[in-house]
Structures are given as structure tokens and as C-alpha cells.
Structure 1
């Protein structure tokens, strides 16, 4: 073990001692060990030091067992990266308040990363867009960063994994407490190819105040942040504002003007954020090159026509299928557009569901399956 590591771990456990104060002390004394061993008089002399934080350090220092945290991270097979390490992410290192310690499960190794964030209460549209954007980014070697939350975050992680790419999940808790618990299996899949990451010591529970701190890491690791859905005062908007403060690019996906979850992205677009419809919009703005692909044949039929032709659908089934897309459509609207009765349409949709080409969503909305 690096001798300094136990001091980084110990100082990171002190409550009310923030990253700015820790960095200031480290820079003043020249090493974290010197900080830990400094006398009270030396600590109080540090210029511009947050006084309550300094008091917290002096009061709690004697209560912490230096070896305890290190033994815990070894048991959990967690890698620890500190501000003085060469492999500390460069993008993150130069924000105003970089985390002094990063706990990593998996492999934190990347050159280019883009964050995708948004609401937990995502629409079907939002989930589809998040997943598709993540797939597109991962397919060209860009790491997708998000926060493991339900909704947009989950879709982003899943999209990156589906493309065989890497994704980083930044937690608002210790790495031994996966939150939300519904994403434990997803978390395991993530750290097998990418990593789980947190600045919080092991045993830290997921609390409301932790998420703004987590969000600055999500944006800090990334070259840009894509907001898919979120209300104006949502956590996703906090991440977008932090990204602007850190000099990152901000992207926003337009949504339904009647949806509360579109208010955040729409406000960002009005303020000058790049409007995103496809992954190419992001790659172009960040000056990433797309891999060369052969031009499509002019005689090639559209994907939907190919799918319809290969399914051997009955005429009425084909009629219903042609009215559907990835955008949810209500049963009543399908009946009106098809000219058929609601019972007829319900029966035809059931047959299409049995063929696994149509999927029903809550509220009698329907979409084509992937």
C-alpha cells in the first residue's frame, strides 16, 4: 500500500471537510501525510481556510483509525485513486472542487467520455432516445457517463452495454451500497467492462445532499452533457449548470411541449444548448469523427418496408403495423386512423403482440418492438 493512501482515506472520512478545504491543506503542506500530522497552530495559520472545516478536522482526526478504511476497501476489492495519482482523470482534476479520493470498482480507463442524464420519471420516448444515443456514442468508442438512477440514467447505461461499449456509473453513496437497489444487476454488468465510481467512503448511504456532489463528477469526467428529459429544477438541470461552470458542452433533446419533463431541455435550448436529434449532432459539436460507412444503395427499401415484407402479415395486420412507430400511440388514435372499430384494432394488436413485433405500454399505448 502507498503509505500516503491511508491518510487520504482517513481525511476523506472526516465529516464537514469538503474537497476544496482538503485540496487547500494538501497544497499548503505539500503532502497529505504532513496535513494529517500538522499541529493545530499550523492548521489555523493556513490562509483562506474554511474555519468550521478546520475545526471539524482537528476535532475528528483523533477518532479515526488509519488502517480501518484501507482494510475495508481491500475487502471490497476497490481501487482507490487520489489527487496525487497520475491516473486521476485529467478532466476531473481541474474543476474547482475535484474529489480528493475516488473509489473505483472496475476499470477507470478512458480518453473520451460524454454524460447522458435525465429524469427518473422518463417517458417511453425519453428512454428510447437515451438508449439510442448511448448506443451510438459507445459504438464509436466514447464512454457513457451517468448516475445509475432509474429512468434516463438506466437507459443510458443499458444502451452503452448493448453496443458492447464502456459506461461509468457515478454513485451518490459508498460503493458497497448500490442505489437504487433495483439496479444491482445492472451495476454488476457495468463494472465488468467499465466501472462504478464514488467519492463517498464505504458505508455512506444515499442521501439527498449527496446527489449535487455526484452530479459535478458526472459533468467533470465528461467533455459534454446531454440532457434528455427533466423538469426545470431537476437534478439533470443541476448537472447541466455544473457542466457550464466547468466549461463543458451542454446538449439537450427536445420533447413534447406539453410535458413537464421537456421544460428543462427546452430552457437549455433557448439558452444556447446544442439541440440533439441524433448522435451525429453530438459527435459533430465535439469534433469526433464518425467511422466510415459505405453509402446506402439508392434501391434499398426502407427498414420498415423490409420488416413488413419479412413478417408475412395479413392485410389488416399490415395496415395497423404501418400506423405504428417508436413513438407511443393510443388505441383510440389507431382506430381512428385505420378506420376500424376499437374491438377490431384490439384484436389485431393482440395478434401483432403475439408475433413480438408490437409492444403495449401502460394506458393502452402501443409501439413497434425493437
Structure 2
């Protein structure tokens, strides 16, 4: 891509009142260079109602973007006609004309699965998101999420525990860390993956921008996995946009008590693929990977331990995937309290269970 073409894309993106959908419609009739020239010199010749394109303001934004790119070697401007623009994102109705990227642009070209869910996720939901993300990474699938609190953060951390190639799509500019507690996560993602946004780097958090970025999360991926979501969860926006984009939708089921999984259950009722383990996702996506991305990296099914090899089988069977009170564990296992506490500690150290307020939860299946 030439410097002139980059400037064209930036200018078109910077014009006030001209969104990605309208830009895409105009580009069906002209190339980006012609669109830039007509916006700058003949805006009334375009078949759109553009009250005031604010040319001077647009040029200042272009200069700011170019200056930002020059600030660091890991700053990239990814336009729709560059080699790093994701092919799957090109296919959605309103692809962003420009992506601001910090990190490794190559991460945008690998096959990906989006993972979203509750910001106030349960301990079990966070653990499952972490493990599924690590498993997806192990078979060559990039994990895409929004770097929000809860499931998003756990998904990025799971991918970082393996190869580290994960993509965070921000609802702010790429120089804004939101939430602030994810500062280290934000830095870690840039080492092997990418932090991206369609918004100018200095754009701060604004509620209306977060739903907009969800189309990019789902648009980058072959499918979107919802790990834990209530019926009114914002993460369901990503699932809906995935459906509208013709992508696969996956959902993890959970307890019918408390409502934490109602959104996932609704998705499954409406045709989403029920997911219990990595194999459920790989099975569904393999044909798509073969058709659109040539091949899936060699997949070795996860090895599960035989029941006879499980540590403390009787006790483990007494701990559920929802919070199980200690007295219930003692009653169901038939083991003395002292021995229960000793074995639970060992199971915690091995990663089978976790102590949570009100009791224990089981983290792994047998």
C-alpha cells in the first residue's frame, strides 16, 4: 500500500458523519482515492446527505494518526487494502476502513474464535474460559475478545498461557486502557498478539462505542463462543452480530438456578452449538477451516483421565460445578471432616477444585 492510499483511507475514516456502512456502500461505485477527492472538493456530488464534512478537522486527524504510527515500531495502521487486513472482516456489511493496531499484525491473519461473556462471571465461568482459550490456542486458533472484565479477561489470559497470540478489540482508542485494572494484560497481549480499535487512539470510554466494536469481535472470527451470560448480557450483542454475519455461534450451558446462564440457554434453544469442551468447537469449525482457510493446524484430542486414575474419586464426585457447601461435601462423600479438608487441599493444589465463598467448586471434568 502506498503512502497516498493510506492517507486516502485515513481521510475517509476521519470525515464526520460518514460511518463504515456508508463508506462501504460508496466504495461499491468508486475507489478510495476518488472518494477522498470528492469528499474534499465535491461533497455535494456524492449521493449522500453530508451537512458539513469539516475538511480541516479531518486533515488534522489524518496528521495525528500518521504521527501516532511513527511513535513506535509496534504501531500499525491497517487499512482495507493492506496485507494485514483480516479477510473475514472484509466480508461483514460494515468493515472498519482503518484499524489502529499495537502489537503483531500477523495475529489478524490466523483463524480465530471469539470468546465473550459476563463481566461479573462466576469462579467456574472464569476458569472454564481460561481453559477453553488455552485449548483453542493449542490447536492454532487465535482467541479474540474485548479485554473487558470477567470472561473477556480470562479468555485473553488463557491464550497468553500458551502461545500468547490473542487479539483484543477495544471500545476505546488503542492508547486508552479500559478497565484500568487490565494494564498488565494490555501490555502482555501486545507481545505476541494485538490490541486493535477502529477509533482514533485518543478516544476515551463512551458507552455507545462498546456495542459498535462487537461487530469487529465477531467479524474477525469463524465463530463466537459465549461462556456465561445472563439474558440481558451485553455479550449477547456479539452473538447476535455473529449470526447476522453468517458465523457460527457456540454457548456453554450451566445451572438453571440463579440466571447466570439464561442467555447461553436461550442461544442454544435458538440453534447455537452446545459446548462442553474444545472438541465441540473443532468439530463444528473444521469444514469452515478447510474451505476458507485451507487447513486447521494438526489437532490432537485432549487426553482425559480415566475415572480409576482420578484423585480422591469419592470426594471429587461430591463437589459440583456450582458452589457446594463444605457440610454437603462431607455428607455426600461419607468422609470425616478432617480427611475432607486434607483431600480438598490436595485437590486445590492439583487444580481440580477451588475454594470460593460458601464452599468449593469443581474446575475440571473427568
TM-score, length-scaled by structure 2 = 0.84
Match status 1:87 vs 2:52 = no
Equivalence for 2:306: 302
> In the alignment, what sits opposite 1:70?
66
Instruction: Report how far residue 119 of structure 1 moved.
Output: 0.8
1:363 maps to which residue?
Answer: 358
Cα distance in 1, alignment partners of residues 305 and 63 from structure 2: 66
The structural deviation recorded for 1:41 is 8.0
Query: Shift of the alpha carbon at 1:326?
Result: 5.9
Secondary structure (helix, strand or coil) at the match of 1:8 reads: helix
Equivalent position SS for 1:260: coil
CA contact (8 A) 1:166 1:194 kept: yes
Equivalence map 1:51-200=2 (5 Å): 51=49, 54-57=50-53, 60-63=54-57, 64-65=59-60, 66-76=62-72, 77-109=74-106, 110-200=109-199
Between 285-294 and 191-200, report the one with greater CA deviation.
Answer: 285-294
Structure 1 CA distance for aligned equivalents of residues 340 and 145 of structure 2 = 38
1:211 aligns with 2:207: no
Q: Rg bigger for which structure?
A: 1
Residue 21 of structure 1 pairs with residue 25 of structure 2: no
Q: Is the Cα contact below 8 Å between 2:315 and 2:333 reproduced in 1?
A: yes
Q: Provide closer, same or farther for how the CA distance between residues 290 and 4 of structure 1 changes in structure 2, counting only shifts above 3 A.
A: closer
Counterpart check, 1:331 vs 2:313: no
Deviations 1:163-198 (A, max 9, x none): 225111111111100111111111211111111111
Shift, 1:302, TM fit: 3.3
SS in 1 for 2:327: helix
What is the TM-score with the length of structure 1 in the denominator? 0.83
CA distance in 2, matches of 1:91, 1:19: 16
1:38 equivalent in structure 2 = 38
Of 15-24 and 134-143, the range deviating more from structure 2? 15-24
Deviation for aligned residue 1:29? 4.3
**1:249 equivalenced with 2:248 (yes/no):** yes
Report deviation, 1:62.
Answer: 1.9
1:336 positional shift: 2.3
SS at match of 1:55: coil
Supply the distance in 2 between the matched residues of 1:259 and 1:233 (Cα, whole angstroms).
Answer: 14
Cα separation, 2, equivalents of 1:270 and 1:161: 32
Report the aligned-residue RMSD: 3.1
Q: Give the drift of 1:367.
A: 4.6
Structure 1 pair 257–353 and aligned structure 2 pair: CA distance change class (3 A): closer
8 Å CA contact 2:171–2:205 kept in 1: the answer is yes
Residues 1:18 and 1:347: Cα distance change in structure 2 (over 3 Å): same
Following superposition, the deviation at residue 369 of structure 1 comes to 9.2
Are the counterparts in 1 of residues 86 and 220 from structure 2 also a CA contact under 8 Å? yes
Q: Any unmatched runs of 5+ in structure 2?
A: 290-295
Pair 1:294–1:107, CA change in 2 (3 A): closer
Q: Number of residue pairs matched? A: 350
Unpaired segments ≥5 residues, structure 1: 309-317
